[in-house]
Structure formats: C-alpha cells, structure tokens
Amino acid sequence: MASPSVLTPQAEDFPRWYQDVVAKAEMADNGPVRGTMVIRPYGYAIWERMQAEMDARIKETGAQNAYFPLFIPESYFHREAEHVEGFSPELAVVTFAGGEELAEPIVVRPTSETVIGEFMAKWIQSYRDLPLLLNQWSNVVRWELRPRLFLRSSEFLWQEGHTAHATYADAAGYALRIHLEVYNDFLEKVLAVPTYLGIKPPSERFAGAINTMTAEGMMRDGKALQMATSHELGQNFAKAFDVYYQSEEGQAALCWTTSWGASTRLVGGLIMAHGDDAGLVVPPNLAPIQVVVVAVRDEPEVNGACEKVAAALKASGVRVQVDRGRGSFGRRVTDWEIKGVPIRVEVGPRDLAQGLVSLVRRDDGAKVQVGVDAVASEVPGMLAAMQSDIFDGARKRLLDSTFDVANVAEAMEAATTGFARLPWSAVGEAGEAQLKTEAITVRCLQRKDGSIPVSDTEDGLDCIVAKSY
C-alpha cells in the first residue's frame, strides 16, 4: 500500500484526500480560467470508458446521437419562464464578438432544451415522426462559484438526451426506461455504485420539468452525490417552442418531451465511492487498464516475460499495459495503486526462476502466485470477482449508513454521518427548510419497496435526506 505521506488519509481530511487523488493519479488539473478543468489522459481514458458503456445502452433504447450548437440566442431562454429563472445565476453570456457589440446576446450552452426544442418544432410534422429520440455528447457551461474538479466546474462534459412523444404515457415510460436501463444498469454493472432511485421533491426538480428522477449514490464520507437524472418535461417546452404534430385524426397536438443526462461528475463519484487511502480503486468493467504487468527489474529476461504475459492477456480480451521497469519498483507500485488499476502482475527474476509471477488485487491487496502460463486463465475470474466484491462493499456501506428515523430532528442528526430515511409526510415544505439550515436536502422520494413513484403526491412515500456534493 501507499505510504501515509503520499496521500492525505480520508479520515483526516476527506476533501484534501480527494484533491490529492485527482492530482497524483494524474486525472485532471485546474484550467487557466477559474472553474475550468484540464482532463489529463488517464482521467479522460476513464471518461471514454464511461461514454462507451452509456452510449451503447442509450442506443439500445432507440436514441440516435446528434449535435447542436454551443451558442444559443438569449431569447430562446425567455420563452420558457421557469427554465430561464432556474438557470439565470449560472449563465455565461456573450455580448461582444467579431469586433462589435451583438444585437442579441448569446448564451453559452448550459443545457439544450431550448435549442433542441426549436429544431424539434422544425423536424416534427406528424405522428409518423414520433417518437423523436435524440442524444448528444458535448460540453456545457454553468458558472460555478465554488468549483471542485469533476464535481463542480464551470465547464464540464456530459451527454444530454432529448425526446418528443405523442402521449404523456409514452414520454414518462421512456424517461423511466432511460433511468433504469441506461443509468441504473451502468451504475451498478460498470461503475459498481449502488444508488437510491426516486424522484426529486418539487423544490429540487429540474427547471421547467414536471418530474425529475434521480440516482443518489453514497460517497465514503457519508455524503450523497447525484449520479444521473431523467426529466419529464410535460408539454412546457413544447408549448414554448411550438412543438406540434398532426395526429392520425388530422388534428394538431402538442408533443410531450423528456430530457436526461449524466456528466463527468461520475468520475468524481468513482473516486469518492471506491477510493481508499492508497488512491483510486477502479472497477474492472470500467478500467481502461484492467491489468498492469510490472517488471521488478529492468532485465531482458524479465522484460521478455512481461511481454509474453501481456500478449496472452490481450488475446483473452483483457485491457493490459506493461511497465518495463523505469524507476524504483516500490515507487512504480505506489503509482499504479494510486491510479487504481484492478490487478497488478509482478514479474521478478527470483519468481521467474521457478516459473511463477505474482498477481495482486488492488481492492483488498490479496496476493497469489501462479505459473507464467496460467496468468491469462486466472485473471478473468479475478476481475469478475473483484467487480462483484467492489459493488457488494459499496452496497454494504450504503445500507449500513442509512438510518430509518421518524422525524426531521432525528434526520438532521443521522445525516451527520450518512443518509436518513423517513416518511415524506413528516417533512413537507417546513421540514425541507429546517433541513437546509444544516445544508441537508431531500435527495429523493421513494415507495416503501424502494421503487420510483409516479408523483410526489402518492400516499406512503419515504424520503432520503443527506448532505451532498
């Protein structure tokens, strides 16, 4: 494991530990403009894996990728009053370009409901054009007063889906499908982060939405992180942008729309959900490098064995990299631990003399020796076990740090160390205001069985409350 001097221990200062990991795992740097970030190659490789996994799931639901402009006329935002009110404090606006003042200010994209609504109105003519299912991978700008790399930055990367439907039921059903089949499936099977699924209370909904679904994960310090959201927009944006279709009966009818997104905040979630005092712990299904083959010494025989092992692993479908022995072995081991590579294969002359190498798991540090020719057959099983164990560990932390309480006062005490769950009827607007005095918010509303309700007015709902990022 890494020496105590490499990273600040989590128990001593969790925010400092996070900053240390981002820097020393070579994930990102602060950009030259306050609130921006430069994503370094290793951090971007992890984001690319996230993109690939989510993109495949998005396409399975029938959505197609497109691209819409970064610059949006300011007038578009004023066409949906609740939307512009919700985003006004975060907008970056261009008023001068091309050497002159602009006749109309231009908003730098904070999200694309408005511009996509404009083109939906142009593209949709009849019921035959529905549903229209779009997604784009892009950057957005939301001016952030308290930036933190990956978690809150003035510019970040994400995907945003936007769809139009003929009926409320079809729109709501599709938003739920995205939430379960794309986000929840990715979070559990790839990111290995269990979450509480539910809907936001009215005070926390996306600006302009009639319903917002969320996935709330627990970080190792007991705080919540909103991992992904899906919004039912009703007909609010369709009305604002004249998104009509001609029904089968020949009547003009308003569309029902949705939007949904997940961002590079997931990289921050990865760090804080699984990382330990030695650095990142990257689940194998996500890891851009699943196995690193490390030469104990920079010697021809050792290097040759490393290449042989790596080739066998690659042939078996494992993402592998060779570390050929530049710098001290101990320093290189520490560096790979900080980066969280799932399995390390250590190849040294002494073990090679016996035809052996060592396999080391990053999550629990377990070390076993196997024959050189057995590595490719042993590693896939180890990776699968590690993926399962990381998820199970995160789920245990989530459940062990969720406390059932009866009232707001008890919830405020429980939320100092984790999540609190209590009846929504015991909170209400007054309770939300009381919670916010201690920076605690209602993260989501759920049914008793943990399923996602249709509305916050359903009887018998529970709410999950916590401090959050």
Whole-model pTM: value is: 0.96
**454 phi and psi angles, rounded to 5 deg:** -80, -35
Helix (H, G, I), strand (E, B) or coil at 309: helix
Which of left, alpha, beta for 464 (phi over 0: left; psi -120 to 50: alpha)? beta
The whole-number pLDDT of residue 213 equals 98
E strand or H helix that includes residue 291: strand 291-295
Q: Given CA atoms 449, 450, 453, 456 in this order, what sign does their dihedral have?
A: positive
pLDDT score, position 89: 83
Residue with tokens 């985003």: 87
User: Burial level of 169, CB count in 10 A (0-12/13-18/19+)?
Assistant: exposed
Question: What pLDDT, on the 0 to 100 scale, is given for residue 87?
Answer: 79
State in Å, rounded, how far the first CA of the chain is from the last one.
28
Domain 14-274 superfamily per CATH: Bira Bifunctional Protein; Domain 2 (3.30.930.10)
3-state secondary structure of 269: helix
> How far is 280 from 7, CA to CA, in rounded Å?
11
CATH number at 291-383:
3.40.50.800
Query: What residues contact residue 8 under an 8 Å CB cut-off, 6+ apart?
Result: 16, 17, 20
pLDDT in tens, the chain (469 residues): 444 458 999 999 999 999 999 999 999 999 999 999 999 999 999 999 999 999 999 999 999 999 999 999 999 998 887 776 777 888 999 999 999 999 999 999 999 999 999 999 999 999 999 999 999 999 999 998 889 999 999 999 999 999 999 999 999 999 999 999 999 999 999 999 999 999 999 999 998 999 999 999 999 999 999 999 999 999 999 999 999 999 999 999 999 999 999 999 999 999 999 999 999 999 999 999 999 999 999 999 999 999 999 999 999 999 999 998 778 999 999 999 999 999 999 999 999 999 999 999 999 999 999 999 999 999 999 999 999 999 999 999 999 999 999 999 999 999 999 999 999 999 999 999 999 999 999 999 999 999 999 999 999 999 999 999 9
